[in-house]
Every structure is written in C-alpha cells, then in structure tokens.
Structure 1
Amino acid sequence: MAENKTQATETNVDDFLATVEPAQRREDARAICAMLARVTGEPARMWGAAIVGFGTYHYRYDSGREGDMCRIGFSPRKAQTVLYIPGGFSRYETLLARLGKHSTGAGCLYIKKLGEVDAGVLETLASEAFDYMRTAYPGVSGQ
C-alpha cells in the first residue's frame, strides 16, 4: 500500500509561517496558529509542506488504508486560509451561521480574511472540533 503523502515533518512552524504571502495572510496565519495552540493545548507541528497541525490521531479505513494525521490544522494558502475541521459541518451549523464570511468543502473551512469572521465563534468551532476528535479517536496525542 502506498505511503501517505501528508506526514508530520521536522520543519519549523515559525519558519514556515514567515514565508506566507501576502503579509495579511501571514499575520492571519500567526493569529490562527496561536488560537489553535491555545484551544488544543498541543504544540504546532508541520504536516507535509504546508499544513500546520495540532495533536495526532491514528485512522484506519475499511479498505485497510491507515495512517496518522493531525487532529485539527490549517494551511495558509495564497488565495485563502483553509482550516481542516474534522467530523463534518452538520454538527457546527449554528456556529457557522454566526461565523461571518466563509465557505466550506469536504472537511475544509475557507476564510479569505480573518477580520471577516467572528474570532470568538471561530475559536469555539475549533475547540468543539478538537474535542470531537479526542472523543472519536482517543489515544495518540501531541508529538
């Protein structure tokens, strides 16, 4: 079976964040990183080339594919910041309705500017998503 492409690396998170462009996205990324560290109590760690993740869990699909991934994370892309919110968005409908300007995809929350969303609602959403992952996938923690 092929090895998972996205794995934890030893890349320094602060060094990675310093390279994010444009400058506003870099500042947003630093704020999101600090918020996720606070909510999760886990250290930030790079996953692959561009995902900043918090905590670790082990998954195993019915197909037999398995691996490790961060419990919650984000990637500051050039056009927008992507937050990887596990567990599906239906459980967060009330929060998403109050969040502000955003869009969603399969497990991804897209934000163009952090200033366009309610930071308190985003923090609550991140906290609830991380708690969900701790319950759904107990065991492996921050590394």
Structure 2
Amino acid sequence: MYELKTKETDNSVIEFIESVDSPKKREDAYRLLDIFTETSGYEAKMWGPSIIGFGSYHYKYASGHEGNAPLVGFSPRKAKISLYFATGDTKREELLKNFGKHTSGKACVYINKLADIDVDVLKNLISQSISFLQEMYPDQ
C-alpha cells in the first residue's frame, strides 16, 4: 500500500530553519514563517523532513487515494525556496502575474529570494489558497 512521505511531524520548525546552510535563505525563511503565520492564522508545523506547513485538510480523490496535506507552506531548499499553494484555482494564475520573479510547477511556486517578490501578492496567494481548499474540502 502507498505510504505518504509528507506527513505532519513533531519536528521543530525553528531547528529546521536553523539547519539551512545559507544565512540569506535562513533569514528569508524566518520572514516567510512570520508572513505565513500572520496571514494564515495557523501555527507552523513540519510536514515530512523539509516542508513548513500551515493548517491542514483531508483530501480524497476519485481513485480512492486520500491523505492529509498542509493548506499552504514553504520550504527553503538548497536551489530555490518552494512555496506551496492550492492548484486548480484560476485566481492563483492571475495573482502570479504581479508576483515578481518566480517560476511555477504544478503545486509549487519557486523563488530565489524574498526580495524578488511582492509580499502583498504573497499574502493574497496564501489567503486565496486557504479559501479555495476550505471550499473544496469543507469537512475539516
């Protein structure tokens, strides 16, 4: 049976941020921690070994696959900082037009540093993602 790797853990968010090699990335991670906490209203939790998540929701796909995931989150990875927002929402794409320097994948938005983006747009993306997921998965 498939085992989810990204589960909420009791690991310390602060210890994880302190383990980030780059001082600049560590500084950005602390700023992101403040922004995500303030905007989401949720306490930061570690998800798996490297994702800092906020809130959670339970999803179930038509295939029967189900699990829990953070509503939003980020990870200060070696190459880039990964930001996790809900996919499938057209408002996300609209907001990303004014976000600043980034690339995006299916579930992630990647930035080099916080100075490259508009923090107000980031706050809107966080709020929008949470609203979208809470509407999509209301039984939380």
Say if 2:84 is the partner of 1:87. Answer: no
Asked if 1:121 is matched to 2:109, the reply is: no
1:44–1:53 contact (8 Å) kept in structure 2:
yes
Give how far 1:89 is off.
5.7
**What do residues 67-89 of structure 1 show as CA deviations (whole Å, max 9, x unaligned)?**
11111111110111001111336
User: Greater relative contact order (Cα 8 A, min sep 6): structure 1 or 2?
Assistant: 1
Q: Which residue of 2 aligns with 1:96?
A: 96
8 Å contact 1:51–1:73 — kept in the other structure? Answer: yes
Give the TM-score normalised by the residue count of structure 1: 0.92
| Secondary structure in 2 matching 1:25 | helix
The equivalences for 1:33-112 within 5 A come to: 33-88=33-88, 90-112=90-112
Q: Partner residue of 1:32?
A: 32
Preserved contact between residue 75 and residue 82 of structure 2 (Cα < 8 Å): yes
CA distance in 1 between counterparts of 2:123 and 2:106 reads: 20
**What's the RMSD between the two structures over aligned residues?**
1.2
Aligned residues with identical type, % of pairs: 41
Query: 1:119 Cα shift?
Result: 0.9
**Counterpart Cα distance in 1 of 2:124 and 2:62:** 31
Distance 2:130 2:50 in 1: 20
Are 2:6 and 1:6 equivalent residues in the alignment?
yes
Letter in 1 for 2:80: Q
Give the superposition deviation at 1:20: 1.1
Gaps of 5+ in 1: none
> Aligned pairs, how many?
140
Unaligned ranges ≥5, structure 2:
none
Which letter maps to 1:110?
Y
